[in-house]
Homo-oligomer: A and B are copies of this chain.
Amino acid sequence: MAKIAMKFGGTSVADLDRIRHVAALVKRERDRGHEVAVVVSAMAGETNKLVGWANEIAKSPGSNFPAMPDQREQDVVVAAGEQVTAGLLAVALGALGVPARSWLGWQIPIRTSGVHGHARIEGIDPEQMNESLARGEVAVVAGFQGVSPDERISTLGRGGSDTSAVAVAAGLKADRCDIYTDVDGVYTTDPRIVPKARRLEKIAYEEMLEMASLGAKVLQTRSVEIAMLHRVPTRVLSTFDPDAGGTLLCDEEDIVEKKPVTGIAYSRDEAKITLHKIPDHPGIAAAIFGPLADSGVNVDMIVQNVSEDGKKTDLTFTVSRSELARALASIEKAAPQIAYRELTHDANVAKVSIIGIGMRAHPGVAQTMFRTLSEKGINIQVISTSEIKVSVLIAEEYVELAVRALHSAYELDVA
């Protein structure tokens, strides 16, 4: 007998028939003798509907401008979506003769930070849930939500139910966390771009973390962090074809054959900003990035040219496209301190990344990337590297071409 956590996303619980299907999958695990905690998202479309309502009603009367609702109240509205699914799945399990009870964030409780809308799970008290599991009940947990320090409902941000699931698995010391989704695992890259993309049987936590943060949408980054931190064996598998195999997130040591590159990720949510002819002296970076941080803008890649004369230089960095306007405003406000000659920006850029723990042992991996892109006539605008990934910024129109070329170059097309 094992203790397992299962997670089903919005498309997996999109209507009553699909919730019944999920109940059958949960029953199957229970019939195998397992204790099961199952984490659910809102029915597909519900979260968008509720967020849309909150944004719409936040507008001042007569105004057509978008307005930000009080994020604490938006959380109250939005968290209702997962609440409904949790209750319905508990009822559906009852109809199959499986005892079940729903758990909302505040009931467990799942304690989070007070950053409403993007709260961070800080701890889970597993005691009550464990008692319930011991009584033979399936624990049906509303994903995406927790309770803030001041006892108000908090939500975890897009994809937060993945994080709920892994955190619940960690809290319960579950033997496994199965993330059921609408794809049957993690692929070497996006199969919509590269039809030859292959499903990975295993991927190291570190690699998955890079894949997720560099654009692969299959798991929320924070969920991978928690899985890695608590060493939760986590599987990604298909709700609609649960026996297709899936992908296991595991320790690096558990992966025998290490190719230099495991996967290729890309992100179109990029924008590039360049400050021309800024003074090349200490403190200038602080003058630029301090105000950006204060405005809540996340800066990703940064490159500073060598100055020709030792006095003036150019600085380029990237932000997410949705934060471009905010970033530009912040810089223009700080113009007197920065003293740039010109400010330019480009939102028609994309980031392509190669990821692999094998990179550590294989020199020349980056060189293959640069050569491959060069052969296709693709100009590299910015480069950033870490121990297990290389990212390049290129013109957005070359994304598919670049991803396909790299997929072949690193022999990911063949098993």
Contact = CB atoms under 8 A, between A and B. Distances in A.
B104 A57 contact: no
Interface stretch (A79-87, A172-180, A291-299, A356-364): A79-87
A77 B83 contact: yes
Name the interface size band of chain A: 35 or more
A101 B72 contact: yes
B53 A88 contact: yes
Copies per assembly:
2
A58 B91 contact: yes
A94 B70 contact: yes
B53 A95 contact: no
A152 interface: yes
Nearest to A76: B87
Contacts of A61: 20, 95-96
Contact of A87 (B54, B94, B100): B54
A94 B55 CA distance: 12
A107 interface: yes
Contacts of A84: 50, 53, 76-77, 80
A138 to B, nearest CB: 12
Interface string A92-119: 1011100011101011000000000000
Contacts of A152: 107
Contacts of A279: none
A161 to B, nearest CB: 16
Nearest to A92: B57
Contacts of A101: 72-73
A157 interface: no
B16 A57 contact: yes
Nearest to A102: B76
A66 to B, nearest CB: 12
A69 interface: yes
A61 B76 CA distance: 33
A90 interface: yes
Contact of A91 (B70, B81, B83, B88): B70
A64 interface: no
Nearest to A83: B80
A57 B86 CA distance: 12
Contacts of A16: 53, 56-57
Interface centre among A20, A72, A76, A106 (most CB of B within 10 A): A76
Nearest to A86: B76
A386 interface: no
A92 to B, nearest CB: 5
A67 interface: yes
**7 nearest A-B pairs in the assembled complex, by CB-CB distance:** A76-B87, A77-B87, A80-B80, A69-B91, A73-B90, A73-B87, A80-B83
22 contacts: A16-B53, A20-B57, A20-B61, A54-B87, A57-B88, A57-B92, A59-B95, A67-B95, A70-B90, A70-B91, A72-B101, A73-B87, A73-B100, A74-B87, A76-B83, A77-B83, A77-B84, A79-B83, A80-B80, A80-B84, A83-B83, A107-B151
Given A67-B95, A77-B83, 17 more contacts: A19-B57, A53-B88, A54-B88, A57-B88, A57-B92, A57-B95, A58-B92, A60-B95, A70-B90, A73-B91, A76-B84, A76-B90, A76-B104, A77-B84, A79-B83, A80-B84, A107-B152
